[in-house]
Structure 1
Amino acid sequence: MSNFNKHETIISAGIDIGTSTTKLIISRFSLRNVAGATHVPRIEITDKEILYKSPVFRTPLQDAVTINVRGVQEIIRSEYEKAGIQPAQIETGAVIITGETATKRNASEMLHQLSDEAGDFLVATAGPDLEGIIAAKGSGSYEESGKGGRVIANIDIGGGTANIAVFQDKQLLGTCTMHIGGRLIEFEQGKVRTISPPVERLLEEQGYTLQVGDPQDAAAVEFVTTYMAEAMARILKKEVHAQDHVLLLGHEPNWKQPVDTIVFSGGISECMYRHASDEEQVARYDDIGIQLAEALLRNQSLQIFEWQEPIETVRATVLGAGTQTTEISGATIQVAPHELPLKNIPIYQYDFEADLEAGLSNFENAVQQAVALYDSAKEGQNFALYLSNLPYLGFRDVQTLAKAIVQIMNQRPRPEQPIILVIQSDHAKVLGQTLAALKVKQSIICIDQINVETGDYIDIGKALTSGVVPVVVKTLTFHTT
């Protein structure tokens, strides 16, 4: 037990590859046992210190549909060097491909390359809902929602998308993503250079024409930025008009409570709050970024909300990715060290509804559904079972459950793969040890004190000195335009 009292630190990296910009941060987490000496250890992250913040780089692209993988790798390598960090030192964190970049042709391939070389336990995630949640954590909105019961919408606007995440009391109420961003119309020498497809559709529907080569101050450009601000206000009020669908990426706003407070983060908020100097802005934004920021500030409909400045603007997402994505498992767990780290393990939740016998009667069916969901081609994609709402378990009950797990896991397409279990209650150690005593042929990874649901993916890092493992829970979805 003595090693639980040691002060332990782990290094985390956050890398955000966005539509316009790429950024990186390196942090150090301090872990401590927050339970009393006589209690079961509970290891938590007690302190987060940012060791290094990179400059904001222009995201390297090969062409309109392809990311320049080598260019991104070079940025990461040189920034690690400046930070004085080796990839092998990094034990947790996230690489996130955000905004329009996630729709690029080689986004998924790039993630695999990066997660192999950026650090042993770096997760690769993309998906607008997750992006919005992470930005809200980095900007301070999530923390702020824990004070005084207000409903806070964090609106993270970058080059290609606006990700809205709504929180109250640190609970996520809903999300929404819009085609609103600074680079959706780009300029060169005072003329229109590119117009993104969503903006082309909007102009067509609204009876405006704009073409490459038109002057930067064309009436249609101002119409677009004013319309984006109006549509944003309608979405936040949940008064979506039919003509707003052209700017929606995915689902409509899905929160129930009315929003009280709005916080803007992302590159556009940098223009809104004038955190960058004017010379820098003109040089950096050869697009509608500044006009969009002004349209949002001017918009009357947005004035019904209380406005709050974020603690971080342009780096909100990377700050969230590097400091807010890691959880720590329970201390009483059973893991096979040679199997770790594990990456991108899908979760299948099975609810026992506090009744072991009834739960076990449908258990086999549930595992077959998990195989059908994640391994329909029978290629051996492993998954983790999340067992929730288990009743009180006596010694015999644990044995019954363990035997049922083994019997059913042996029916998977590749039965020799590790048995990965996430337990909502504190049963990981006892269940793991019972499985080991049954001399099963599989490795056993059994962790607890992590909340997940079907459709989530987890990464499980190497066991730390204190016996716990870092776990990153994520929603791994690539969206398409």
Structure 2
Amino acid sequence: MRRVEREVEQIISAGIDIGTSTTKLVISRFSLMNTAGASQVPRIEIIDTEIIHKSPIYRTPLSADYLIDIPAVFSLVRMEYAKAGIRAEDIQTGAVIITGETATKENAEEMVRRLSDEAGEFLVATAGPDLEGMIAAKGSGAYEYSKVTGRTVANIDIGGGTANIAVYQAGIFKGTCTLHIGGRLIEYEDGQVKKISSPVQKLIAQKGIQLALGDAADSLAIREVTVAMADTLGRILDGKVELEDEPLLLGHPPDWNVPVEDIMFSGGVGECIYHLEKREEETGMPVYNDLGVQLSEELRRHPALARWRWIQPKETVRATVLGAGTQTTEISGATIQVEKESLPIKNLPVYRLSFENESNGTREKIFRAVEQAIALYDPNREGRNFALYLSDVPMLRFYEVQEVAAAILEAFCKQPDQGQPLVIVVENDMAKVLGQSLMAMKAERSVLCIDQIHVENGDYLDIGRVLQSEVVPVVVKTLAFHS
């Protein structure tokens, strides 16, 4: 019998993390291969990820308290691309992540839009704190640790402005929470307090802590602040929120429903705990006159956090950028129907339609879902597009697939802009037959029908250009700029 050679395709991914304190970049190479047997439906998967370049840790360039220095960021990116020996056009996937307090800057959205448009074929540009926590948990090793051990681990990624918590149990995502806990929330100059952030001002007012500008950086009041932060973190990890925690809560309360067994720290404050990076004189890492070191010391000794087993991360300050560059991309199924000229597509909201493993009432379900999706994502009928995600689809006969296709075409006629692609995502391997059925029915719109991607209502999709193996890279994300 002739041996079937399996071809390996390689693509380049980049991750850029623009945080409250630091900016860093990582370049990776993905190897893709068909892992299915010769007689099976092709399944293209990422079989290897190689880090080919890590940037130094740069101080995040700001032109004012409320603005990112966009030209300076572009200069850093171009310089690191040159060091790695790549060009912007070589980048086929990856993520630009603006994290922490930097996501509140007036030009944050412009920053990620320009980077994703001009610095390569980035598929995701996001600043949602929940997604930040999930990405950091993958970059730190917490996700893999949970998957291998079966235990429930909370990764606490603490940077300059926020602590992003993500909980995984046996490799399954369980929930997130974000807190105003970070090194840059109090800044120093010449050994004195130079700046106190708004969340800390609320905290000290609530607790009656006597802290003011000009106070000594080693004053007892600073210790009271770090103790209060550690207290809140301990309660949050227990899934509780007390009234005294509210000044430090950013967004929703903890939403996992399982008890945390182990904890792992990453981010800049995590680096102050574990010291995994080379020393400053070797790396040129910037010096920060802020709360970070004192906060890390309090976290290490605080009794509320001693109840959990501490697991050392694989990465600390680089966890988010490594997660962004290596963990955000999924690969579609090989049985897809796409029109190449319609790609890439970015920031497409998802509406999920569950068939509930029933083939009855298909037409009514599709019509109702499309109407609800238009009402949700295009209430003013301005022509905003969305992707319809078909999940829990039972085994369908060919004529039933054609019935689904006909119902989709009819229902999508309700969209005000008929010039945009019709985007369908299917949970199981039926995108090719569904897409071809749509095309055969003389759909006037271009058709993109992909499968083997799992999404939910509220997610957004970025779909990249078709690769040599006839699959597309896809990023599933939550798109949000918090204020």
Contact map agreement 1:351 1:359 (CA 8 A) in 2: no
| Partner AA of 1:195 in structure 2 | I
- Select between 2-11 and 452-461 the one with higher mean Cα deviation: 2-11
Match of 1:429 among 424, 428, 432: 432
Contact map agreement 2:362 2:404 (CA 8 A) in 1: no
Could you tell me how far apart the structure 2 residues matched to 1:5 and 1:272 are?
Answer: 45
Could you tell me how far apart the structure 2 residues matched to 1:391 and 1:449 are?
Answer: 15
| Partner AA of 2:359 in structure 1 | L
**Cα separation, partners in 2 of 1:256 and 1:12, compared to 1, 3 Å:** same
What is the match of residue 7 of structure 1? 8
Contact map agreement 2:276 2:315 (CA 8 A) in 1: no
User: Tell me, what secondary structure is at the counterpart of 2:168?
Assistant: strand
Contact map agreement 2:96 2:122 (CA 8 A) in 1: no
Post-superposition shift, 1:318? Answer: 0.3
| Partner AA of 2:218 in structure 1 | D
Match of 1:338 among 333, 338, 341: 341
CA RMSD, 1 decimal: 1.6
Could you tell me how far apart the structure 2 residues matched to 1:122 and 1:25 are?
Answer: 15
User: Tell me, what secondary structure is at the counterpart of 2:235?
Assistant: helix
Could you tell me how far apart the structure 2 residues matched to 1:147 and 1:92 are?
Answer: 27
What is the match of residue 129 of structure 1? 130
What is the match of residue 216 of structure 2? 215
What is the match of residue 159 of structure 1? 160
Post-superposition shift, 1:108? Answer: 1.1
Trace 1:10-49 onto structure 2 (pairs within 5 A).
10-49=11-50
User: Tell me, what secondary structure is at the counterpart of 2:360?
Assistant: helix
Contact map agreement 1:460 1:470 (CA 8 A) in 2: yes
CA displacement 1:324-362 (0-9 Å, x = unmatched): 000000001000000111111110101111223323213
Trace 1:382-461 onto structure 2 (pairs within 5 A).
382-461=385-464
Contact map agreement 1:153 1:261 (CA 8 A) in 2: yes
What is the TM-score of this pair, normalised by structure 2?
A: 0.96
Contact map agreement 1:383 1:420 (CA 8 A) in 2: yes
What is the match of residue 113 of structure 1? 114
What is the match of residue 355 of structure 2? 352
User: Tell me, what secondary structure is at the counterpart of 1:284?
Assistant: coil
**Cα separation, partners in 2 of 1:279 and 1:422, compared to 1, 3 Å:** closer
CA displacement 1:175-221 (0-9 Å, x = unmatched): 11100000000000111111000000000111123222222122221
- Select between 231-240 and 435-444 the one with higher mean Cα deviation: 231-240
| Partner AA of 2:290 in structure 1 | D
Post-superposition shift, 1:392? Answer: 1.4
Post-superposition shift, 1:277? Answer: 6.3
Could you tell me how far apart the structure 1 residues matched to 2:405 and 2:110 are?
Answer: 38
What is the match of residue 205 of structure 1? 206
Contact map agreement 1:121 1:341 (CA 8 A) in 2: no
| Structure 1 spans left out of the alignment, 5+ residues | none
- Select between 119-128 and 424-433 the one with higher mean Cα deviation: 119-128
Post-superposition shift, 1:168? Answer: 0.7
Post-superposition shift, 1:412? Answer: 0.3
CA displacement 1:24-64 (0-9 Å, x = unmatched): 00000000111011111101000000010000110011222
Contact map agreement 2:123 2:463 (CA 8 A) in 1: no
Contact map agreement 2:153 2:260 (CA 8 A) in 1: yes
Contact map agreement 1:4 1:32 (CA 8 A) in 2: no
Contact map agreement 2:191 2:217 (CA 8 A) in 1: yes
User: Tell me, what secondary structure is at the counterpart of 2:439?
Assistant: helix
What is the match of residue 324 of structure 2? 321
Could you tell me how far apart the structure 1 residues matched to 2:109 and 2:151 are?
Answer: 37
Identity %: 58
What is the match of residue 92 of structure 1? 93
**Cα separation, partners in 2 of 1:278 and 1:442, compared to 1, 3 Å:** closer
Post-superposition shift, 1:107? Answer: 1.0
- Structure 1 residue 194 corresponds to structure 2 residue 181: no
Contact map agreement 2:57 2:285 (CA 8 A) in 1: no
Contact map agreement 1:8 1:31 (CA 8 A) in 2: yes
**Cα separation, partners in 2 of 1:216 and 1:414, compared to 1, 3 Å:** same
Post-superposition shift, 1:295? Answer: 0.4
What is the match of residue 229 of structure 1? 230
Contact map agreement 1:12 1:92 (CA 8 A) in 2: yes
- Structure 1 residue 250 corresponds to structure 2 residue 255: no
| Partner AA of 1:392 in structure 2 | M
What is the match of residue 147 of structure 1? 148
Post-superposition shift, 1:238? Answer: 2.4
User: Tell me, what secondary structure is at the counterpart of 1:29?
Assistant: strand
User: Tell me, what secondary structure is at the counterpart of 1:379?
Assistant: coil
Could you tell me how far apart the structure 1 residues matched to 2:310 and 2:173 are?
Answer: 19
CA displacement 1:109-154 (0-9 Å, x = unmatched): 2111111111123320111110000000000000000123211010
User: Tell me, what secondary structure is at the counterpart of 1:356?
Assistant: coil
- Structure 1 residue 467 corresponds to structure 2 residue 459: no
Post-superposition shift, 1:278? Answer: 6.7
Post-superposition shift, 1:276? Answer: 4.7
- Select between 100-109 and 258-267 the one with higher mean Cα deviation: 100-109
- Select between 376-385 and 157-166 the one with higher mean Cα deviation: 376-385
Could you tell me how far apart the structure 2 residues matched to 1:4 and 1:428 are?
Answer: 26
Could you tell me how far apart the structure 1 residues matched to 2:142 and 2:22 are?
Answer: 22
- Select between 371-380 and 330-339 the one with higher mean Cα deviation: 371-380
Could you tell me how far apart the structure 2 residues matched to 1:12 and 1:282 are?
Answer: 24
- Select between 391-400 and 261-270 the one with higher mean Cα deviation: 391-400
Could you tell me how far apart the structure 2 residues matched to 1:295 and 1:69 are?
Answer: 35
| Partner AA of 2:256 in structure 1 | W
Contact map agreement 1:352 1:358 (CA 8 A) in 2: no
Could you tell me how far apart the structure 2 residues matched to 1:387 and 1:283 are?
Answer: 49
What is the TM-score of this pair, normalised by structure 1?
A: 0.97
Could you tell me how far apart the structure 2 residues matched to 1:173 and 1:343 are?
Answer: 27
Could you tell me how far apart the structure 1 residues matched to 2:9 and 2:327 are?
Answer: 18
Post-superposition shift, 1:106? Answer: 1.3
Contact map agreement 1:154 1:166 (CA 8 A) in 2: yes
CA displacement 1:139-175 (0-9 Å, x = unmatched): 0000000123211010000000001101111111111
